[in-house]
Structures are given as structure tokens and as C-alpha cells.
């Protein structure tokens, strides 16, 4: 009878147990190359103005600084907008970075045009056109808070704060594990983070679940982050296999508990819905309205 190969380099490992499915935890930078490339015009403006006299050079330096600041604000604005879009409950950005970047881009391009032979009117027109194209290319910042109907603002603010804190803990874990350069361990941490984010999404969709989930998204994730920091420091120095096994066991326990709690939150939500439906049907029957 044929026997499946189960050696060291088998996909199922030495023991024949199925290897954990890898988790793709890569996050695409919302800024990307199209925003980062806007750091170049300011440098080009300065270098092309060298040797054209002090007035032109100073104007170019100011224009280059304005364009660089605009690129920096745009990059942060795109990331803030992506974070806003990814959440069910979110506050609008306190500083409209993309809109400020559009204005600064118009000013910077106007100064750049003024260093040439465009004149005052031509420079202003170039600046207005640049600002308009910037808005068309990158849009504007979110202008209103993202809330869920039927849930009071105070409760949604609590959810937003807890979610922000939880995401910070998860991000810190990811950074610490990446410093070790161990891809299987990174995938293991990513699998746990995926389960944690399921709970985060569940709480965002129904803020009433925050009471039951707050300890998980606060105390437990903070403990997971602290354990990750200590493990990363120890493992990079000693390569202690037993420490790694203990850390992976901790991740497994956390993942199991998060999965169970998320399922409970979803079940409670279904129970609440069933109760509402039952009460509504009873009220309709009392009013003499019966289904056919």
C-alpha cells in the first residue's frame, strides 16, 4: 500500500499534522507611490533654480518647502481617510489634511511658476489649476462622523476609543514580531489578529456588545502586546525553543477565547433580534393584526 511521505520537508511536516494555513497580513499603504512621488517637485524646483539669482532662489526654496509640506499632509490624509473608511464607527479627521494639501499645492505651484516668466496672473492661474487637479486626483477629507443609526453618540464614542486602542495593541504586536524575521511566527500572530479583528468588527456593528468585549479588546490585547514584546526580546537573544512554544500556546489560547467570545456576541445579537420579533408579533396580535 502506498504511504504518504511525511518527512521534514513534507507540506504536512514530520508529524503528519496539517500545517496552519498561512495568513496574508499584508496591508497596502493607502498613500502609495502616487502620493510619495509628490515629494519630488519641490526638490526639482530648488535644483533648477540654482544660479538664477537670490530672488529666484529664495522664491524657489519657499515654493519647494510648501510643496513638500503639501505632500506630507497628503500622505497622512490618505492614510487617515483609509482608516476612516475601514471602520463602521469613526470620527472625521480633526485636521482636513488632504484639503490643506490641495491649497498648499496650489500655492507651491504658483510660486514655482512665478520663478519663470509666467507673471503674477499666469502664476495664480497655474496655482488654481494645480489645486483643482489635486482635489480631482485625491478627493477631500471625510466631513462628517460615521455613526450607526439607533445608537447614541456617547456609546459610539466609547466604541471608537476602544477600537483605536485595540488596533494600536495589534499593530505593536505586528511590529515586534516582524523584528525577528520569522515568517511562520508572523503568520501565527496574524491568524490571532484576524480573530481579534472579527471581534472588533462585531462590536463596531453593534456597540451594545462593548460591555462583554471590552476586557478582551483592552486588558487581554494589552497583555498579548506586553507578552509579545518580552518574547521578542528574549527570543532574539537566546532562540529559546521552549519560550517560542509557550508563546505560540498563549496565542492559541487567546485565539480560542476570542473566537468563542465573538460567537457568543453574535448569538446574543441573534437572541435579542428573536426577542424583538416575538414582542412585535404579540403586539400585532393584540391589535388584531394576524398573518395570513
Confidence at residue 62, expressed as pLDDT on a 0 to 100 scale:
92
Residues 158 and 277 in one domain: yes
Confidence at residue 81, expressed as pLDDT on a 0 to 100 scale:
87
Task: Check: CB of residue 162 under 8 Å from CB of residue 217.
Answer: yes
Confidence at residue 16, expressed as pLDDT on a 0 to 100 scale:
42
- Has residue 292 been placed in a domain? no
- Has residue 184 been placed in a domain? yes
Confidence at residue 136, expressed as pLDDT on a 0 to 100 scale:
92
- Has residue 157 been placed in a domain? yes
Residues 240 and 269 in one domain: yes
Residues 64 and 174 in one domain: no
Residues 163 and 282 in one domain: yes
Which H, E and C letters describe the chain, residue by residue?
CCCCCCCCCCCCCCCCCCCCCCCCCCCCCCCHHHHHHHHHHHHHHHHHCCCCCHHHHHHHHHHHHHHHHHHHHHHHHHHHHHHHHHCCCECCCCCCHHHHHHHHHHHHHHHHHHCCCCHHHHHHHHHHHHHHHHHHHHCCCCCCCECCCCCCHHHHHHHHHHHHHHHHHHHHHHHHHHCCCCHHHHHHHHHHHHHHHHHHHHHHHCHHHHHHHHHHHHHHHHHHHHHHHHHHHHHHHHCCHHHHHHHHHHHHHHHHHHHHHHHHHHHHHHHHHHHHHHHHHHHHHHCCCCCC
- Has residue 5 been placed in a domain? no
Residues 114 and 224 in one domain: no
- Cell 525553543 locates to 241
Per-residue pLDDT for the chain (292 aa), expressed as one digit of tens each? 444 444 444 444 444 444 444 444 455 566 667 778 888 888 888 888 887 888 888 888 999 999 999 999 999 888 888 877 777 666 788 889 999 999 999 999 999 988 887 888 999 999 999 999 999 989 888 888 776 655 556 677 777 788 888 888 999 999 889 888 888 888 889 999 988 888 888 887 777 777 778 888 888 888 889 999 998 888 888 888 888 888 998 888 888 888 888 888 877 655 555 545 555 555 555 555 555 5
- Cell 499603504 locates to 29
- Has residue 144 been placed in a domain? no
Residues 87 and 182 in one domain: no
Residues 131 and 192 in one domain: no
Residues 64 and 169 in one domain: no
Paired residues of 149 in beta bridges: none
Residues 115 and 173 in one domain: no
Confidence at residue 4, expressed as pLDDT on a 0 to 100 scale:
46
Residues 168 and 281 in one domain: yes
- Has residue 82 been placed in a domain? yes
Total structural domains in the chain? 2
Range of the domain at 127: 32-138
Amino acid at each position: 500500500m502506498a504511504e504518504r511521505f511525511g518527512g521534514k520537508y513534507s507540506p504536512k511536516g514530520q508529524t503528519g499534522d496539517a500545517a496552519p494555513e498561512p495568513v496574508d497580513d499584508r496591508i497596502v499603504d493607502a498613500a502609495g507611490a502616487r502620493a510619495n512621488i509628490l515629494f519630488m517637485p519641490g526638490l526639482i524646483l530648488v535644483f533648477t533654480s540654482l544660479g538664477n539669482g537670490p530672488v529666484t532662489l529664495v522664491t524657489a526654496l519657499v515654493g519647494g518647502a510648501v510643496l513638500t509640506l503639501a505632500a506630507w499632509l497628503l500622505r497622512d490624509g490618505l492614510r487617515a481617510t483609509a482608516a476612516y473608511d475601514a471602520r463602521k464607527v469613526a470620527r472625521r479627521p480633526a485636521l482636513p489634511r488632504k484639503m490643506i494639501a490641495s491649497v498648499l499645492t496650489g500655492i507651491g505651484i504658483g510660486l514655482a511658476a512665478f520663478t519663470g516668466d509666467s507673471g503674477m496672473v499666469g502664476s495664480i492661474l497655474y496655482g488654481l489649476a494645480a489645486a483643482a487637479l489635486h482635489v480631482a486626483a485625491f478627493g477631500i477629507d471625510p466631513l462628517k462622523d460615521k455613526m450607526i443609526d439607533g445608537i447614541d453618540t456617547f456609546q459610539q464614542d466609547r466604541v471608537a476609543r476602544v477600537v483605536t486602542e485595540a488596533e494600536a495593541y495589534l499593530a505593536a504586536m505586528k511590529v515586534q514580531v516582524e523584528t525577528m524575521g520569522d515568517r511562520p511566527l508572523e503568520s501565527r500572530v496574524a491568524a490571532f489578529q484576524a480573530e481579534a479583528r472579527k471581534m472588533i468588527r462585531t462590536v463596531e456593528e453593534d456597540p451594545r456588545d462593548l460591555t462583554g468585549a471590552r476586557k478582551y479588546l483592552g486588558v487581554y490585547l494589552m497583555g498579548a502586546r506586553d507578552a509579545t514584546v518580552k518574547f521578542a526580546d528574549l527570543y532574539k537573544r537566546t532562540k529559546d525553543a521552549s519560550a517560542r512554544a509557550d508563546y505560540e500556546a498563549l496565542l492559541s489560547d487567546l485565539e480560542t477565547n476570542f473566537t468563542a467570545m465573538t460567537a457568543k456576541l453574535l448569538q446574543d445579537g441573534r437572541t435579542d433580534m428573536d426577542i424583538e420579533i416575538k414582542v412585535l408579533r404579540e403586539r400585532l396580535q393584540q391589535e388584531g393584526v394576524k398573518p395570513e
